[in-house]
A and B are shown apart, each in its own frame.
Chain A
Amino acid sequence: DAMVIQNPRYQVTQFGKPVTLSCSQTLNHNVMYWYQQKSSQAPKLLFHYYDKDFNNEADTPDNFQSRRPNTSFCFLDIRSPGLGDAAMYLCATSRIYRGLTEAFFGQGTRLTVV
């Protein structure tokens, strides 16, 4: 059974129309990550939650926001998507408690902006 689930797998949104991507996990991991991956590039970390602590990367645009209402769910909000935001968005989780665990990845949401 999938342990990190991203919905939807494919999302089409209009230029400038807010969109939300979701990620859920059944692993009870305390760290959740959002990455952006553009074609032929490595995933780029946007931000991550360590428990309830939000950690933003310095170069993540303000257009990208995140919410983590509880341990299991994390959302990526793109307030005004531009054409340059079309990408694969990957969610990942891991646990930090008495040591580190492997990272587990969702299948990603491919975002198209029209």
Chain B
Amino acid sequence: KNEVEQSPQNLTAQEGEFITINCSYSVGISALHWLQQHPGGGIVSLFMLSSGKKKHGRLIATINIQEKHSSLHITASHPRDSAVYICAVRSEETSGSRLTFGEGTQLTVNP
């Protein structure tokens, strides 16, 4: 079983829809990252959080430490949001330096 599991693996939405991507993890963590990867490989960090909720524009990330679960929400989705979204966790090993990835969610937003 992977330390980090995401659902769904693939998601297709219509422009304007509200999108939720889920992440569950099985290890103790010091922080969780949501990352975005576009075709061609470039990865950017969207959020890093260890508790509660963060918001940036149309993106919202939440985490429930007790339930070991995080969600990434996209409001008013747009075709330019199409990308792979990856949940990554900093496990408590090595003082939180170890950063491992979930399998990713391929999001396609159609116009």
Contacts and interface: CB of A to CB of B under 8 A. Distances in A.
Interface of A: 31, 33, 35, 37, 41-45, 48, 50, 53, 55, 88, 90, 92, 94, 96, 100-105, 107-108, 110
A90 B41 contact: yes
The contact size tier of chain B is 20 to 34
Interface in B68-94: 84, 86, 88, 90, 94
B27 interface: no
Nearest to A33: B99
A104 B45 CA distance: 7
Contacts of B100: 45
B98 A45 contact: yes
Interface stretch (B11-19, B58-66, B101-109): B101-109
B101 A45 contact: yes
A53 B99 contact: no
B28 interface: no
A103 B88 contact: yes
A42 B86 contact: yes
Contacts, number: 67
Given A45-B98, A55-B97, A103-B99, A37 B41 contact: yes
The SS class assigned to the A binding surface is strand
9 contacts: A42-B86, A43-B86, A44-B101, A50-B97, A55-B94, A100-B30, A100-B90, A103-B45, A105-B35
Given A50-B97, A90-B41, 18 more contacts: A31-B97, A35-B101, A43-B101, A44-B101, A45-B98, A48-B97, A55-B94, A55-B97, A88-B41, A92-B99, A94-B97, A94-B99, A96-B97, A102-B45, A103-B35, A103-B88, A105-B44, A105-B45
Contacts of A100: 30-31, 48, 50, 90, 96
| Most chain B beta-carbon neighbours within 10 Å: one of A42, A88, A100 | A42
A98 to B, nearest CB: 12
